[in-house]
Amino acid sequence: MESESLLTNIRVVLVEPLYSGNIGSVCRAMANMGLSDLTLVNPKQIRDEARWMACHASDILENRTVCGSLAEAVGDCGAVMGTSARDGLYRRHALSPREWAPRALQSAQTGKVALVFGREDSGLNNEELALCTQIVRIPTTTAYRSLNLAQAVMVFCYEIFVAADLYEPPREKSEEAPAALRERMVALWRAMLLNVGFMEPEKADHMMFGLRRIFSRGAWTEDDVSILMGVARQVEWAVENRGEETLTKLETERNNERIPAQP
Ligand code: SAH
């Protein structure tokens, strides 16, 4: 199954969320990371703030499912993953979100997966935790373990998005330069640096190793190489022509001084 459709099999379940702003922020986090199935168990009244915080993710808010119990919300799900900030007796075997994400994707191959979040004030109760096949906890400092509900949802959404390998990073416009082109560039720089007296011929090999090391800290694209070749050519040209231009100018000035202007 395609990774994108795997994400449609992952359901975010919020049990008795108290604050509309959190519900809206959860919608936004889901939309940012490619999830769309939101189920609320007995939400308090949903105020305008939910829409404000959802921003461009209001379709997720509009299409939410509302259930009367967690059992109903996860009834059609295979894996039911419960999230908890606490590490009580039944939560010692908790996975981290990073460990959880590939497992959730694997379960999503064959059916619906629920990711269950608790109330802002008291989390999930034992009865609700008992319905979960796995507990997941976001690592935090021991001083303050409990995240804001929507921020906790975001951490999970992000991990599942990364694990699904859906992100396409922006690509360089030009291809990586082939070795032959890179070597032409290095040869041009070598000639130019000798020509301007930057290095003595006997030190040139050593110096060129140093320059290669600096240049090769990143991958060279064809565009990069052509800029660097342009620099070397322009320096050579300037040394040859500007030198003459300057000499001619100096000579003319000197001659003008020697030959006083005729009255
Ligand atoms: N005082 C509550 C905290 C609730 S925070 C308690 O002790 O359980 C609201 C919800 O956000 C939690 O039920 C859980 O679903 C999620 N959450 C917050 N911090 C988390 C963490 N460190 N790991 C996993 N989920 C977390």
Does the pLDDT at position 158 exceed 80? yes
Pocket lining: 17 vs ligand 1, CB cutoff 6 Å: no
List, in sequence order, every residue forming a beta bridge with 50; answer none if it has no partner. none
Confidence of residue 253 (pLDDT cuts 50, 70, 90): confident
For range 181-207, the mean pLDDT:
94
For range 22-39, the mean pLDDT:
98
Which pLDDT value is given to residue 165?
92
Pocket lining: 91 vs ligand 1, CB cutoff 6 Å: no
Pocket lining: 236 vs ligand 1, CB cutoff 6 Å: no
> Cα(132)–Cα(81) distance, rounded to whole angstroms?
5
Q: Can you give the length of the chain in residues?
A: 263
Residue of higher predicted confidence among 99 and 167: 99
Pocket lining: 25 vs ligand 1, CB cutoff 6 Å: no
Q: For residue 242, how far is the Cα from the chain centroid?
A: 47
Q: What percent of the chain has pLDDT over 70?
A: 92
* CA of residue 110 to ligand 1 center, whole Å: 28
For range 161-178, the mean pLDDT:
89
Q: What is the pTM of this model?
A: 0.78
Which pLDDT value is given to residue 87?
77
170: which residues sit within 8 A by CB, 6+ positions away? none
Average pLDDT, the chain: 91
Model pLDDT for residues 59-107, shown as the tens digit of each residue: 999 999 999 999 999 999 999 999 999 876 555 679 999 999 999 999 9
Which pLDDT value is given to residue 246?
66
Beta-sheet pairing, 77-83 with 37-41: unpaired
- Interhelix angle 204-215/179-195, rounded to 10 degrees, is 130
Domains of the chain: 3-163 (3.40.1280.10), 179-258 (no CATH)
List, in sequence order, every residue forming a beta bridge with 135; answer none if it has no partner. 82
* CA of residue 80 to ligand 1 center, whole Å: 16
7: which residues sit within 8 A by CB, 6+ positions away? 34, 35, 36, 108, 160, 161, 164, 166
Asked whether 15 and 116 are in contact (CB, 8 A), the reply is yes
